[in-house]
Amino acid sequence: MPSEIVNKYFRTNKLPQIWCPGCGHGIITRAITVAIDKLGLDRDKICIVSGIGCSSRAPGYMDFDTLHTTHGRALAFATGIKMANPELKVIVITGDGDATAIGGNHLIHACRRNIDITTIIYNNNIYGMTGGQYSPTTPKFDKGTTVPYGNVDKAFDIPALAIAAGATYVGRSTAYHTQLLISLIENGIKNEGFSLIEAISVCPTYYGRKNKKGSAVEMLEWQKEHAVNIAAASKMTPESLDGKFLIGEFKNSPEPEYTREYQKIIDRLKKE
Amino acid sequence: MNINETVTDKLVVNENWCKGCGICVKFCPKNVLKIENEKVKIVDIDKCIQCGLCELRCPDYAIYVRGK
């Protein structure tokens, strides 16, 4: 008999899931269901949409109305769902490659529109499913099967990208910082507008092995030691932040939501 | 599939779902767990304080705190 939360929100007949031993994706997926449970949402009013990749397998295990779509296009499908049924809570699960490479254009325009969709990007810094090719979030000089001598591209800072593009709620956490991740997802869902939460995962099989990062446990310990909450970072010296990365709530400033603004135009034209 | 579950008053372990990654073992503050034959095992249940850190970070939903 699985735990109460797993029994309630997962398709338990599909478990155990397909992800590798120690993959952080399972931790993040459970965190999403905990956030939904804490909010007490009506599950029939939730639709979870994903693209392609390791991350995008998640909705297959989640007992909601779910949609597994094409590579990079989860946000395009989700936009259609939200426009047709604005009362739905639409949650997108996507990966670093799916969201910022193949679907990069959909991502920035969904941010810009401020459509009420909560997007959780499972960032494992690599394309895991297809064999470890480097992605837009593979850190500079790190290795992948397509960059065997090191990557010369600069990595995307996903929250900075989302803020610049106009998302109204933006946060970042890690698989290790699970409680923070749950609260960011909760607040992201509560925000009526486009919310983006970057969830830094661990990929011991490809990213970890290619870059000698050790086991899943060692990769989670690295997250524990190198993440600094943005609230604490403001009181720290630049030297002490060297080599660290920020987690926490980066932006929370609601603005008019897209489907509501659209409805206003319909209502106005009906009166004229 | 046979259900291979260890049920105690404090913790439940599902060996069928466990992939032996060792995350629960490492982040358990009371050293209650160990990995044996690539599966999680309870070493000393008396030490368990039911903090739930194993359940929080188990990627495979193979361990959870009971009665909370």
Q: Computed from CA positions of residues A242, A246, A252, A257, in that sequence, does the dihedral angle turn out positive or negative?
A: positive
- Does pLDDT of B68 surpass 70? no
Q: Token pair 């009506």 is at which residue?
A: A42
| Mean pLDDT value of segment A132-159 | 97
What is the number of residues in chain A?
Answer: 272
Picking from A29, A54, A122, A217 by the largest number of B CB atoms within 10 A of its own CB, the best residue to mutate is A217
**A248, A171 Cβ separation under 8 angstroms:** yes
- Give the residue from A169, A174, A192, A138 showing the smallest Cα distance to A249: A169
> Over the stretch B8-58, which tens digit does the pLDDT of each residue have?
999 999 999 999 999 999 999 999 999 999 999 999 999 999 999 999 999
Output the CA–CA distances (angstroms, integers) from residue A123 to A54, A64, A69, A190, A216, in the order listed. 10, 23, 19, 22, 15
- Here the ipTM equals 0.95
Q: What angle do CA B34, A173, A41 make, to 5 degrees?
A: 95
**Interface contact B35, partner A, CB < 8 A:** no
Instruction: Band the pLDDT of B67: cuts 50, 70, 90.
Output: confident
Are A17 and B26 a contacting pair at CB < 8 A? no
Those residues of chain A whose CB sits closer than 8 Å to some CB in chain B are 1-3, 6, 10, 15-17, 19-27, 30, 175-176, 178-179, 204, 215-217, 220-221
Output the CA–CA distances (angstroms, integers) from residue A232 to A55, A93, A228, A248, in the order listed. 30, 29, 7, 10
Residue A260 CB-density burial (10 A; 0-12 exposed, 13-18 middle, 19+ buried): middle
**CATH number, residue A213:** 3.40.50.970
What's the domain count of chain B?
1
Instruction: Band the pLDDT of B1: cuts 50, 70, 90.
Output: low
Distance CA B33, CA B60 (A): 16
**What is the per-residue DSSP string for B41-60?**
EES-GGG-----HHHHH-TT
**What is the per-residue DSSP string for A193-207?**
S-EEEEEE---IIII
| Mean pLDDT value of segment A238-244 | 94
**CATH number, residue B41:** 3.30.70.20
| Mean pLDDT value of segment A81-108 | 98
Instruction: Band the pLDDT of A160: cuts 50, 70, 90.
Output: very high
Are A2 and B61 a contacting pair at CB < 8 A? yes
**Interface contact B56, partner A, CB < 8 A:** yes
The domain in which residue A75 lies consists of 4-271
What is the number of residues in chain B?
Answer: 68
- Does pLDDT of A272 surpass 90? no
Are B23 and A10 a contacting pair at CB < 8 A? no
Distance CA B23, CA B57 (A): 7
Torsion angle of the four alpha carbons A229, A29, A157, A220, in this order, in degrees rounded to the nearest 10: 60
> Over the stretch A96-110, which tens digit does the pLDDT of each residue have?
999 999 999 999 999
- Does pLDDT of A74 surpass 70? yes
What's the domain count of chain A?
1
The domain in which residue B40 lies consists of 5-65
Instruction: Band the pLDDT of A169: cuts 50, 70, 90.
Output: very high
Output the CA–CA distances (angstroms, integers) from residue A84 to A81, A114, A262, in the order listed. 5, 16, 12
Picking from A1, A3, A222 by the largest number of B CB atoms within 10 A of its own CB, the best residue to mutate is A3
Chain A positions in Cβ-Cβ contact with residue B8 (cut-off 8 Å): none
Mean pLDDT estimate for chain A: 97
Distance CA B65, CA B67 (A): 7
**What is the per-residue DSSP string for A19-80?**
SPTT-THHHHHHHHHHHHHHHT--GGGEEEEE-SSSGGGGGGGBSSEEEE--TT-HHHHHHH
